[in-house]
Amino acid sequence: MKWLKLGLALLVAGAVVVAIVLALLPKPVPVETGVVVSGPLRVTVDEDGRTRVQDRHVVTTPLTGNLERIELEPGAAVDEGKVIARIEPIPPPLLDARAKSELQARVHVSEASLRGSGAAIARAESRATFAARQVERLRSLAASGGASAEELESAELEATTAVKERESARFAARVAKHELEMSKAALERSTAPASATAAEQFEIHSPIVGSVLRIVRESEGVVIAGEALMEVADPRALEIVVDVLTSDAVEISPGDRVEIDRWGGAGILAGHVRLVEPSAFTKVSSLGVEEQRVNVIIALDDDYDRWKALGDGYAVEAAIVIWEDAAAIQVPTSALVRGPEGWSVFVIEDDVARVRPVVLGRRGARAVQIESGVAPGETLVVHPSDRVRDGVAVEPL
């Protein structure tokens, strides 16, 4: 009986000692974990943008007279040559030598502009033809393995850009022709006898096929030569303007893929960078900080039927893809730890956190490319607290 009591006492004492030792031992630190993966990663420049028509024409009155009320409304479709405004002429005043010279100079300028637009069309036609031939040649080479997919995509993009530039050149030629006709009409009417013009009505025709963007002068009344009446444009020729920081613009190149989101319709629109303007400007941010920014011009790649609800000046969000890799080794950005010798991560090995230096590559929105230091499949500590150190026992949450 005596020995039994002694044994029980020793057992209780041993249990107490074990409990005290276990209580004094450091407990594993609960941590969030992540995994090193190999998969697609991209770097984008995300900014707000706005739409605008590529070729906008402001219709002006070529002479002074009484304007009839314009019945067209914004959004109304117009055809080339359609009458969009009428002016009841007033008896022309006697022209002095200076006024007559100005009208004649306007005719000469319009003629020169028309000749220049003809040369621009010829250049655009040649470029579009060459680009189309280049695409066909590269398609044949790509089918036999003589050209890469990237070369073919670049040629197709060049061909698409050349076609759009040709359309823009033709638009400019139509506008130049219209300006020349209006200039000649103004000169003839101003130099004609008053009896020959009193009963005639001057008609202003649309220079393009498109729609009315804005009515500048709707009410009837006296207008003077050169006064703006309305703005017309082709709604199919729409582009997006995004202003980005100059530090981001240096990494953007023509041809970069763009995704347009929050444009009001379903899904994401596809586009590409057409131009990075060479001149920057100063813009004050919402926080009152002056920033140097530059405009990036984006062309839409989707069919017009998909985005025809978009108009001039609409707000959109654009993500410009400046780098992407389909099999990048990456870790969550929240797993990185900045130390005196550079960046590192905590790798979990046998339930113990081990510091591992890493070499960073490109940074995405939520993940970072790792050039060396970790391998796919390894488990990391995400959002490490100050309790996580090298050699500390951890347990996943």
Q: What is the pLDDT of residue 197?
A: 46
- Degrees to nearest 5, angle at CA 313 with 219 and 302: 125
Long-range CB contacts (within 8 A, 24+) of 180-185: 180/107, 180/110, 180/111, 180/113, 180/114, 181/205, 182/62, 182/110, 183/62, 183/103, 183/106, 183/107, 183/109, 183/110, 184/107, 184/110, 185/62, 185/63
Residue 92 DSSP code: P
The C-alpha angle 151, 147, 303, rounded to 5 degrees, equals: 45
The pLDDT value given to residue 198:
47
Tens-level pLDDT at each residue, the chain (397 residues):
666 677 777 777 777 776 665 566 567 889 999 999 999 999 999 999 999 998 888 888 877 788 888 888 888 888 888 888 888 876 655 555 666 676 677 777 777 777 777 788 888 888 888 888 888 888 887 777 777 777 777 777 778 778 777 777 777 777 777 777 777 766 666 665 555 444 467 788 888 888 999 999 888 888 887 788 999 988 888 999 999 999 999 999 998 999 999 998 889 999 999 999 999 999 998 888 999 999 999 999 999 999 989 989 999 999 999 999 999 999 999 999 998 889 999 999 988 999 999 999 999 888 999 999 999 999 999 999 988 989 899 998 8
The DSSP call for residue 335 is G
Q: Is 136 helix (H, G, I), strand (E, B) or coil?
A: helix
Collapsing DSSP to helix, strand or coil, 247 comes out as: helix
- The Cα 353–Cα 335 span in angstroms is 12
Q: What is the pLDDT of residue 330?
A: 95
Q: In terms of Cα–Cα distance, which of 50, 48, 51 is closest to 285? A: 48
Please report the pLDDT score of residue 260 as a whole number: 95
Question: Quick check: 56 and 233 in contact, CB under 8 A?
Answer: yes
pLDDT at position 58 is 87
Res 196: pLDDT? 47
Buried b (16+ CB within 10 A) or exposed e, 220-259: eeebebeeebbbbbbbebbbbbbbbbeebbeebeeebbbb
CA 374 – CA 38 distance, rounded (Å)? 11
